[in-house]
Amino acid sequence: MALSGDPAPPALFLVHGWGFTPDFWQPVRARLGGVEATALDFGFFGPERMTARPAGRHVAVGHSLGALWLLLNPPADCAGMLLINGFARFGATTDYPQGIPPRVIERMARGLEHNPDDVVATFRGRAGIATPAPGPARAERLARALELLRDADARGALAAEAGTGLPPIRVLAGGQDPIAPPAMTEASFRDRVPVEWVEDGGHLLPLTHPDRCAAAIARLIAESGRS
């Protein structure tokens, strides 16, 4: 699905999820041909790369935690966002029972204090990947990200009266996602953002369904080129 024939397509800005690295995007990038891409790195297994940004106009793509991060930190010159396995809030509250109970997230945080590699391995296994993490877990950074997942709320940014500062947003979600289940997706984006469902998809669509992800990115790049 090379885009090399398109005139000057916008660059990509890629933001990975909890327990992963920018290498997570390789299957999708391979299908997009020569599109220029910049990847943020939360530094869960090595050095952080939090200041990485494309130069100029671009399309931003976030997975899971990365999707929430993009909603909270919309980049300048962003022409559109694709949120994959994403959500506007992860932690449950009284007005958002579809989220994950804070006690579950806090239990993971406590585990990071003693056995961070085990916590990451358990999460990755539940998410649907059997390969080991790419290095020793950086517990402090993973814990900070869990706090964000527990507490952060981007629903207000999606409200009609507040959402004018955001670029066009699309969502690609898995119908069988065990981490961000359909009820969470619907509660996050209902009546606000178009959702494309991969009915047999789980939480790792860029790994399990890279063609669908690449096609969704290509459509967003094409739409941004017409705007």
Residue 147 neighbours by CB under 8 Å, 6+ apart: 109
> What's the CATH number of domain 11-226, 3.10.180.10, 3.60.10.10, 2.40.128.90, 3.40.50.1820?
3.40.50.1820
pLDDT of 65 > 90? The answer is: yes
Residue 24 neighbours by CB under 8 Å, 6+ apart: 16, 17, 63, 206, 207
Question: What tens digit of pLDDT does each residue of 150-204 get?
Answer: 999 999 988 865 666 789 999 999 999 999 999 999 999 988 899 999 999 999 9
Q: Where are the domains of the chain?
A: 11-226
Question: What tens digit of pLDDT does each residue of 35-50 get?
Answer: 899 999 999 999 999 9
Residue 82 neighbours by CB under 8 Å, 6+ apart: 59, 60, 61, 62, 169, 170, 171, 172, 216, 217, 220
pLDDT of 33 > 90? The answer is: no
pLDDT given at position 35 = 86
Question: What tens digit of pLDDT does each residue of 83-142 get?
Answer: 999 999 999 999 999 999 999 999 999 999 999 999 999 999 999 999 999 999 999 999
Write out the two tokens for 139. Answer: 């517990």
Contact 13, 40 (CB under 8 A): yes
